[in-house]
Amino acid sequence: MSIDLPETIEAEIVSAHGDPLVGILVALDLRYAGRAYYATHLGLTDSTGRARIDREALTQAFAEDQRLFPMDFRIPLSECDANATLRIEGGPQFRQRRAAAIASSLIAPDAAAAWRAATNDKVHGIEATVRLDNADLDGVVRARLTLQRAAI
C-alpha cells in the first residue's frame, strides 16, 4: 500500500478549559505494517497551541536519518501505514526522556533546544491516531488534543 503524505500535519494542543498550551513538544510516530517505524517531532507548540510539520521538512528529516541509519530506514515513507500517532510525553516520563535525549550524542542541536524548552513535564501524556490520507482541502491533517495538568 502506498500513501501520499499530506502537505502539513498539524496538532492543536489545548488545556481542559480549551486554552492553547505553549511550548509542548509534539511527536509524530509513523508505522509500517502496524509496527513502529519512524518517529520525529512536529516541534513545539506556538502561541496558538499549534505545532506542525510540512511534507518537505518531514521528508528531509527522514532522508537525513536514512543517510545516518540506512539499515533502520530502508522503506520509503510513502509505504508507511495511513494511521500515524501524534504523541505527547508528559510528567515524570517526559523528564526522564528529556534527560536521555539531551545527553545523546546523536541528537541534533535544534532538537536538543526543543527538548530543553519544552514544558511537557507540566502535563499528562496523551496519544492520538491520525489518518495521513485524510487531509482537508488545503492538504492539512489536523488534530486537537486536550491535555490535563500534571502534579509536579
Q: What is the pLDDT of residues 108-137, one digit of tens each?
A: 899 999 999 999 999 999 999 999 999 999
DSSP structure string for 68-125: H-TTT--S-GGGS-SEEEEEE--HHHHHHHHHHHHH-TT--HHHHHHHHH--GGGB--
pLDDT at 24: 98
The list of the chain residues with pLDDT below 50 reads none
Residue 136: what pLDDT? Answer: 96
Task: List beta partners, residue 8.
Answer: 54, 140
- Nearest Cα neighbor of 145 from 47, 54, 45, 53 is 45
Q: Which domains does the chain have, with CATH numbers?
A: 8-147 (2.60.40.1120)
What is residue 149's predicted lDDT score, i.e. its pLDDT? 86
Q: What angle do CA 30, 129, 5 make, to 5 degrees?
A: 45
Could you give the CA distance from residue 33 to residue 126 in angstroms, rounded to a whole number? Answer: 23
Query: For residues 24 and 44, what is the distance between their CA atoms, to the nearest angstrom?
Result: 5
Q: What distances in angstroms separate CA 116 from CA 28, 109, 112, 119, one per listed residue?
A: 18, 11, 6, 8
Q: What is the residue whose three cell numbers read 509542548?
A: 24
